A and B are shown apart, each in its own frame.
Chain A
């Protein structure tokens, strides 16, 4: 049998496989004809044996390269991983993600870091006014004070609420995702962003509570605080989880350990992003509204209840409340 004859005889089949690959790439599995899939699998196996023959028998160079590409692409299509289901996704969102987030020490570490720095910054700037100047800077402080010179619902707060909501999504959720991504540098990136935000926010809080516009400030920040502060902590927790997997590998090699942690960390980061977006809409539409302080406190309570309920329901669904103690 001559090489030329083999190649000529097999070329139509290879070209058919090429067409199959192009078609399968743009079609979800469930819309493919069973007969077509069977024919595709047959052609793939035939191409596999052609490749083995070509490599073993020293067919001309181009043949082996071509068949390798063909087999690789067909392999990618044959063993596809298309397992997206709404039910599985909902289960992940409502059960797996909150359970894993609560069970993860990283969550409690980042929460503690944030609370300690926030409280520390607030106490320091209350006790020693120069502290706020040192940390935040005079210009920024004046800026913040000017922002809250008017009571929410009047003056500077009346226009462009949707614009502000959009800005908060873009800016805050973006910072949250960066905080998560920075975690891959052994968790350091996440911790730095978290610590900076904790200290900065705490210091501004302390400063503003002692300023003449403390009422305005307090009224503005109440409504969106529960979602936004939780979101910051969770972003950093997800990043720290990712980075820590490079340190404590549970016996895997470092990259394998990272790959195994990825999906869990991603779930928490997704939860954090959702909270950031929700917080952005509260901050854009409710916080600046001229409805008085009491309804905003009610919104804050509602948000806190929702969050607690979300986590508690997930713990319950495991049937025992392991984290009650």
Chain B
């Protein structure tokens, strides 16, 4: 039986939050740190400034409502400044333009998308979070586990990384290596983890480097089994990995 609980048994010291879905599956959200979030906010401010500038230019060039132009502009600026973040987060699923550029997304602490009340509350409270000289938002982010600023704490939201990795490449093993694997090979979980880690990364390595790394592990394993180390150590490690998974899958079925 595989060691399936290791994900939840001890939470790694990491900027990630593990949630359990109703399907009883544990999955992780990777949290966004203060640097990325400040940068996203800066981009949003620049966007608001750009929109304001275009408004001034546009209304000015048109000479439209010349008398009340400044008033309209100020009302627009008010709603942009206080409302842009909330509106964008509601309409495009937790991302303002700045967050989209940096690959961030606001989600509820429970892992759901945020609702309008949460979006409005966290964006209003930003006024306090960015207030000098103490920047309460930074202090709060530094001292909460989910890196939440005060607005996030009140609204029950968190900002997570939303960068898609590539779909995983299936580990390619060039030749069947079953002949190299000793009969009855049944490794302990930590060894399987190490094997998986190697197999997952070997496609990024040059053939010579693969052999160099694989020989370290193969040398120790073969010494323990008192057999000579094969010339193609990479093939041995891949074979061991396949065998380990096969015995695992068979055991659990």
Contacts and interface: CB of A to CB of B under 8 A. Distances in A.
A177 B71 contact: no
A163 B70 contact: yes
A1 B201 CA distance: 21
A60 B242 contact: no
Given A51-B25, A75-B27, A170-B78, A61 B201 contact: yes
B178 to A, nearest CB: 11
Nearest to A24: B93
A84 B165 CA distance: 33
Given A4-B173, A62-B168, A57 B70 contact: no
Interface residues of A, number: 75
B68 A173 contact: no
User: Helix, strand, loop or mixed for chain A's interface?
Assistant: helix
Given A76-B113, A83-B115, A173-B78, A166 B73 contact: yes
Interface in A1-38: 1-5, 7-8, 11, 14-15, 18, 25-26
A68 interface: yes
Interface stretch (A98-106, A219-227, A254-262, A296-304): A254-262
Given A61-B196, A173-B78, A262-B154, A3 B71 contact: no
A63 B4 contact: no
B179 interface: no
A254 to B, nearest CB: 9
A311 to B, nearest CB: 22
A129 B28 CA distance: 65
Contact of B156 (A15, A259, A269): A259
A164 interface: yes
A160 B28 CA distance: 55
B172 A58 contact: no
Contacts of B75: 165-166, 169-170
A160 to B, nearest CB: 7
Interface string A72-84: 1101110111111
A236 interface: no
A124 interface: no
Given A79-B112, A169-B74, A181-B128, A51 B245 contact: no
B12 interface: no
Given A162-B68, A166-B74, A263-B117, A52 B200 contact: no
A26 B91 CA distance: 8
B153 to A, nearest CB: 5
A52 B7 CA distance: 10
Contacts of B78: 169-170, 173-174
A230 interface: no
Interface residues of B, number: 81
Contacts of A248: none
B171 interface: yes
Contacts of B156: 259, 262
B71 A163 contact: yes
Interface in B34-73: 65, 67-73
A45 B160 CA distance: 22
B184 interface: no
Given A25-B93, A262-B154, A266-B117, A57 B248 contact: yes
B159 interface: no
Interface string B114-158: 111110110011111000000010000000000000100111100
Contacts of B9: none
A116 B252 CA distance: 74
A184 B153 CA distance: 10
Interface stretch (B187-195, B210-218, B221-229): B187-195
B65 to A, nearest CB: 8
Interface in B220-252: 241-242, 244-246, 248-249, 252
Q: Which of B27, B72, B112, B199 has the most CB of A within 10 A?
A: B27
B193 A58 contact: yes
B151 to A, nearest CB: 8
26 contacts: A3-B199, A7-B170, A25-B93, A52-B4, A58-B189, A60-B201, A61-B196, A61-B200, A61-B201, A65-B165, A66-B167, A66-B168, A68-B27, A69-B165, A71-B27, A72-B27, A81-B112, A82-B115, A160-B71, A162-B70, A162-B72, A170-B74, A185-B136, A189-B128, A255-B153, A269-B124
In the A-B complex, the 8 residue pairs with the closest CB atoms: A60-B200, A166-B71, A162-B68, A166-B74, A162-B71, A4-B170, A7-B170, A58-B196
Interface of B: 2-4, 7, 19, 21-23, 25-29, 65, 67-75, 77-78, 81-82, 92-93, 107-108, 111-118, 120-121, 124-128, 136, 150, 153-156, 160, 162, 164-173, 189, 192-193, 195-197, 199-201, 241-242, 244-246, 248-249, 252
